[in-house]
Structure 1
Amino acid sequence: MSTAIKAGHIRPIFVTSAKRQPLFPEIPTLHESGFRGPVAEEWWGILAPARTPRPLVNKLNAEITRIFNEPDVQERIRKLGIDYIGSAPEGFGTFMQQEAVKWEKVIKNAGIKPE
């Protein structure tokens, strides 16, 4: 999408994240534009089956963190406008639970029913 924005093919009116995006700092946030509601940000994670042995989870987390902290990987991520945070498995689990609660409220308040 950044290519289309830079080319002038689309003109975003706001971003739904909590803060302005590094690639497009001139685009205000939803809240700065006067709208209230939940912050909606993209996020990614790497998951393992529920009963994966803890030592293996820790090893995977350490290797993934090492790779994502390499300077060339950081530069590529930055150029994509991604705000890499990284976390321990427990922190990511807590984050996913918080997201589920947040969006459950939004769906319920909007009266959205599964079809």
Structure 2
Amino acid sequence: MTVQDGTTATHGVELTEVAAAKVKALLEQEGRDDLRLRIAVQPGGCSGLIYQLYFDERELDGDALRDFGGVGVVVDKMSVPYLEGATIDFADTIEKQGFTIDNPNAGSSCACGDSFS
């Protein structure tokens, strides 16, 4: 996570307070304080790219990191351009429960909302 000049690389992904609180609660349930929320973009889905959100303890070469009130959010160097300006939130309604991603870089998405291009 350190760039050549010795500083830590950062990214433009935002995590809402609601999402940060949910991540903290999930980490507390797991009894782990060494994990970060990793957000990645991978090939797949009906529109070409899919999001992946998962907890990760690894530090990969070129990772970009931001802290949101004690919640570390990591993005790999290949995914940073696709996620610049994206906002991660958490919805807990009768219609939907889970993390949501509002990404201004997504030109189009599929009907299910799981993939984008």
Give the structure-1-normalised TM-score: 0.26
Higher helix share: 1
Higher strand share: 2
